[in-house]
Structure 1
Amino acid sequence: EASRMLAWLIKNGRSTELMRNIVREDGVLPLVTMVASEHIVMQNEALMALTLIASTILADAALQLKEAELAETIINLLGNPDVIPEILCNTLTLTKTVCEAG
């Protein structure tokens, strides 16, 4: 539930400083781990939170995203034939955001 709280804070806090604090306190890894969850709602919450981070403070979070193996997580998700379209769409949105910002 702590990971879900992080995602909720990012989504609803709408604060750059809040996002920076979460990144500074190693909050990226739990969100990336949550993307690989078997629960669709948790995947979606994590993808949305990571997209907000990438669109707002990517420079601050880039190293943690790399160390948390976000790219590998995205590749696994996109290669899974059982992933629902909504999750695929949010995964592609995150990918696009990271590519455009970086």
Structure 2
Amino acid sequence: MADKMNHADSKRAEDAIRSFPDHIVFVDENGDNVTFYVIEQTRMSGMDYLLVTDQKDGDGECWIMKDISTPESPESEYEFVEDDVELDAVFRIFEELMSDSGIDITN
């Protein structure tokens, strides 16, 4: 898969936190649409992150994506987090956020 995606959303801030969609559609390098479902969101060091999965219900793979768009951007732009240190730190936050949800995420 390509390492960036675009998604048009409202970009409306509520209490300085952006509204996130319940799903985002990614266009891969073959031009195919791939839908990711947003499980959780968080903010760390001024950056917004999404925990996404490829399955609406049931077991699926999870990825962490970072919003790299600017305030002037007409669309949100996300990329998969690949830096191991950043990925581990954000994963621990999502793990804590999900601990009471009944959803098990593993690294």
Higher relative contact order (CA 8 A, sep 6+): 1
Bigger strand share: 2
TM-score, length-scaled by structure 2: 0.33
* CA radius of gyration, larger in: 2
Bigger helix share: 1
